[in-house]
Chain A
Amino acid sequence: MTAAPAISLRRLTLRDHLGRPLVTDLDLEIAPGQAAVLTAPPEVGNAVLRAAVGLWPAQEGEARVLGEEVRSLPRARAEALLARVGYVPRYGALVSNLSLRENLVLPLRWHRHLGEPEARHEAARAAARFGVDELPAVIPPLASVELRRRVALARAVVLSPEVLVLDDPTEDLDPATATEVAGQLAAAVRALGAAVLATSHEDLVAGALSANTFTLDVPSTP
C-alpha cells in the first residue's frame, strides 16, 4: 500500500472575492519528503497555500493535505490534522499580543498540552534551528523583520510537522540573510523529513530545498 501524498491538489479552481479566477484546474501532487515551490503572483500563490490548509474555498476540484480535505473535516479532526502541518503565511503573521517566545509556545501548549517548562525547551530548540539562540522578551511588532521571519519559521516546525506550507519564507530579507535562512530551512526540512509546498519570488528557496518548481500565472479573464 502506498502512502497518501503529503499534498494533493486536483483540478483545483480558486477565485478571488470578486469572482475572478486565480487558478484553474491546477493539478499538483507532493509525495512525503518531497518539496515543490510555486513561482506565482503573490495573490495566486497565497490562495493556493491557503486552500491547502483549508483557509480558501475551492470553487472546483479539491485540495488535500495528508490525504484529507481540511474544510470537510469536523473541527476536532481538522485541528488534529493541522497539528501535523506547519504553516507560515505571508509576512509570518505572528500573534501580535504574545511575546516571540509565547508565539512559539502556543502551538505546543494547544496541541501537545505541554507544561510551561517543556514547552519553553521545545520552543528554544525550534528557534535554534533558525539561528535564534536567545528570544528577546518583546512582542512581534517591536522585533526586526528578520527576527520575526525566523520566529515564524520556527513556529512552523515547533510541532515537528510532516508537511510545511510556506508563503515566500525569505521575502523582505536581505540577500545574505535570505541565503542563510533558506539553508536553515532546508536543514530543518531534512531533519524532519517533511514535505514542503512553498511559494517564492526567487530561486533561492527552491535551490536550497532541491524542490521542483512550478510557474503559475493568473488565468486570463474572458
Chain B
Amino acid sequence: MLDSRGLSPVLRDLLALPRLVGGAVVDTVAYAVRVASLVGSAGLALMGRGMRMRPAVRAVWRAQVYFTGVQAIPFASMLAGLVAMVVVVQARLAGAAAEGGPLGRLLVIVVVRELGPLAVATVVVARTCSAIAAELGAMRVSGEVDTLSGMGIDPFEYLVLPRILGVSVAVLCLGILFATLSVLAGAALTSAVANSVSAADVLDIVGTNLRPLDYLVVGAKTWVPGTLMAAISCEEGLGASRSSTAVPPAVSRAVVRSMTAVFLWDGLVTALAYAL
C-alpha cells in the first residue's frame, strides 16, 4: 500500500536505510568515545594521584585481580593444556611432530601469538565481564551507586578505576601464564608422542622462534583488551536504567561488545605486527 507520499513499503524502507546506517555508525562512534574516555579517565585519575590508589580503592583492585586472575588460573591452565594437546595432535597428523622444528614454530605462531590471548580473553569475558556488568547494574538499580555519590565517594574512582586496572593486570598475567603453560605442555606432549624429539629440543626451538616483537604482541593482545573489556563492562553496568529488567540486557551487551572489541583488536595487532 502506498503511503501519503506515494511510496511503497519497500521503497520507504530503502530510503530510510541511509538514515538507519548513519545512525548506527554515529551510535557506534559515540559508544567507542565513551569507552575510550573511561579508559582515559582511569589513566588520568591514576596519574593525578601519583600512580597511587586510596586504600579503599586498592582493596577493590585487589579483589578484582583475585577474582579475574587468581581464581581463573585452574580454568586457564586446563585450557592451555588442551590447546597444546590439540596443536600437538594436529601436528602429528600432519607429520610435523616427528621433528621438533615445525612443531616449535607452530606453538609460537598458533598458541603464543594467536590462540593464547584469544583464549584468555574468552575466559575473562565469560567470567569477569558478565560479573562486572551484573554487579554494577544491580548496584545502580538498588540505588547504591547514587548513594555513594551522595556520600561524597566518587563512583568512578571507587567502582570503575579499580576494575579497569584490576582486569587489565589480571589478563596480562593470565596471558603470560597461558603462553608459558601451553608451550611447556606442548613440549612435554611432543616428547611423549615422538621418540626422536625431547621436550628440551622443542623448548629450544620455541625460544629460537620467539622474537622480541612476539613479547610486545602478547602484551598488546592481553593488556589492551583487558582494559577495553573492563571499561565496556563498567559502561554497560553503570549505563543500565534503574530497573531490574535492564540488568540482563546490560550483561548480554557487555559480553558481546567485549568479545567484538577483543577480536577487532586482535586482528588489528596481528595485521600491524606481522602482515604489514
Residues of A within 8 A of B (CB): 50, 53-55, 75, 78-83, 85, 87, 89-91, 93-97, 106-107, 109-111, 113, 155, 165
Contacts and interface: CB of A to CB of B under 8 A. Distances in A.
Interface stretch (B29-37, B135-143, B171-179, B182-190): B135-143
Chain B interface mostly helix, strand, loop or mixed? Answer: helix
B56 A110 contact: yes
Given A91-B143, A95-B144, A97-B135, A107 B149 contact: no
Contacts of A75: 154
B71 interface: no
Contacts of B55: 109, 113
Nearest to B241: A17
B1 interface: no
Contacts of B56: 106, 109-110
B147 A107 contact: no
A81 B144 CA distance: 19
A87 B150 contact: yes
B150 to A, nearest CB: 4
A118 to B, nearest CB: 12
Contacts of B143: 89-91, 93
A82 B144 contact: no
B5 interface: no
Contact of B150 (A50, A97, A109, A111): A50
Interface size class of B (residues with CB under 8 A): 10 to 19
A27 B243 CA distance: 32
A152 to B, nearest CB: 9
Chain A interface mostly helix, strand, loop or mixed? Answer: mixed
B226 to A, nearest CB: 21
Interface in B119-160: 135, 138-139, 142-144, 146-154, 158
Interface of B: 54-56, 135, 138-139, 142-144, 146-154, 158
A110 B144 contact: no
A54 B148 CA distance: 12
A91 B135 CA distance: 19
A162 to B, nearest CB: 13
B59 to A, nearest CB: 9
Contact of A96 (B138, B146, B153): B138
Nearest to A106: B56
A109 B146 contact: no
Contacts of A90: 143
B146 A55 contact: yes
Contacts of B152: 78-83, 85, 107, 110-111
B251 to A, nearest CB: 16
B149 A94 contact: no
Contacts of A165: 150
A133 to B, nearest CB: 24
A78 B138 CA distance: 25
Contacts of A91: 142-143
B151 A82 contact: yes
A111 B152 CA distance: 8
A83 B150 CA distance: 9
Contacts of B54: 109-110, 113
Nearest to B143: A93
B146 A93 contact: yes
A83 B154 CA distance: 12
